[in-house]
A = this chain, B = another copy of it.
Amino acid sequence: MATVEPIEWTASGVVMLDQRLLPGEVTYYTYTDYREVAGAIRDMVIRGAPAIGVAAAMGVALGAERSAAHSTEELGAEIPVIVETLAKTRPTAVDLFWALDRMRRRFDALVAETEGIKEPERIDRIRRGLVEEAQTVHRERREADQAIGALGAALLPQRGRVMTQCNAGALATGGIGTALGVIRVAARQRQLEVLVPETRPYLQGARLTAWELQQEGIPLTLITDNMVGHFLKTGNVGAVVVGADRIAANGDTANKIGTYQIAVLAREHGVPFFVAAPISTIDLTIPSGEKIPIEQRSAEEVTHIRGVRIAPDVPAAHPAFDVTPHELIAAIVTERGVARAPYEESLRQLAGTASGQSS
């Protein structure tokens, strides 16, 4: 159902769409080395917590597939290096660590399952098993998005406008998107217009969300980030729905910088604020938002836009994410159900049943 595929496992390697160049250029790369996949995550060729998870899983599979190891033992020595390299790319998106953990555990299981099988058949089986696991992560992501979309669409208003933030779309997940998946499903059923804040400094709203919605023919209006309050006050907005990079056990949600203030402004105007995210985004090991690590990115991303200098040479800050306290969140929509306050209980119930959740 997705109109765009940000990442795909192919026989030639991991194919990725360079999201930094959108919407002006549609460029795909084929990576044959896991270090290239790590670089792509770090440099934001691919972004969006769920898609980063898929990329990390494929990175491990690629590393195993292309490794020069001749035995399971040799491969077993490489896996931690591969995982470590991929782990050091982005600190906030928990899906990254979830996917790496899942691949490492799958490797351990494959080693156990293949005990007694001779090399090189054993290592070949393990390699195939890891590739299948990465593809399963991707397929599950697509299915999760569909489920999130159906559950979330029921929460959106019957008409009028909805607002999102950043890009929690197909580009961010590899499926139909989380927040944009909800909007896609709702827009198939009824007339909705989407208000899209541009989301500086990376302009994921202007470049990616506007583009995705345009591809699907869903009506939208692009606004700058400082118009959010004005449009919540005057613009007939019935709901806000955003994605998440990490959700703490109490429901506090880290997401793209700017999400927090949208949540405050939504409450000020009585507009419900929803988070849409896969179970893998929930981190039950972190009790509350203060403990979520916030990535600080380069100040140059603030003083420049698309490579053009827009400010004199002055200090600039660039926290890439902020934390929205659970009190501001009307519901968290996952593929297993809709969590509501008190989130300690509802999230534990949903995430605790997770096959993929390690806690």
Contacts and interface: CB of A to CB of B under 8 A. Distances in A.
Interface of A: 23-24, 197-201, 203, 206-207, 210-211, 213-214, 219-231, 233, 257-258, 260-262, 264-265, 268, 299, 302-303, 305-306, 308-319, 322
A306 to B, nearest CB: 5
B319 A227 contact: yes
Given A198-B311, A233-B260, 12 more contacts: A213-B314, A221-B315, A222-B299, A225-B225, A227-B322, A229-B258, A229-B260, A230-B319, A264-B264, A268-B268, A305-B306, A305-B308
Instruction: State the main secondary structure of chain A at its contact with B.
Output: mixed
A292 B65 CA distance: 65
Contacts of A233: 260, 322
B260 A210 contact: no
A314 B207 CA distance: 10
Nearest to A269: B264
Contact of A302 (B224, B230, B262, B315): B224
B230 A311 contact: no
A87 to B, nearest CB: 25
B200 A23 contact: no
24 contacts: A198-B310, A199-B226, A200-B200, A200-B226, A201-B224, A206-B310, A207-B310, A210-B314, A211-B311, A211-B312, A214-B312, A214-B313, A221-B314, A221-B316, A222-B314, A222-B315, A223-B302, A224-B257, A227-B317, A229-B261, A230-B260, A230-B322, A264-B265, A306-B310
Contacts of A311: 23, 198, 203, 206-207, 210-211, 222
Contacts of A262: 226
A44 to B, nearest CB: 16
Nearest to A222: B316
A213 B227 CA distance: 25
A264 B207 contact: no
Nearest to A256: B226
Contacts of A312: 23, 210-211, 214
A258 B226 contact: yes
A59 to B, nearest CB: 30
Nearest to A206: B311
A359 to B, nearest CB: 27
A306 B226 CA distance: 18
Contact of A314 (B220, B257, B309): B220
A82 B322 CA distance: 51
Contacts of A299: 222
Contacts of A314: 210, 213-214, 220-222
Nearest to A165: B226
A268 B264 contact: yes
B309 A24 contact: yes
A207 B229 CA distance: 23
B257 A226 contact: yes
Contacts of A222: 299, 302-303, 311, 314-317
B228 A200 contact: no
Contacts of A319: 227, 230
Contact of A229 (B24, B221, B322): B322
A114 B319 CA distance: 65
Q: Which of A211, A226, A257, A311 is packed against the most chain B CB atoms within 10 Å? A: A226
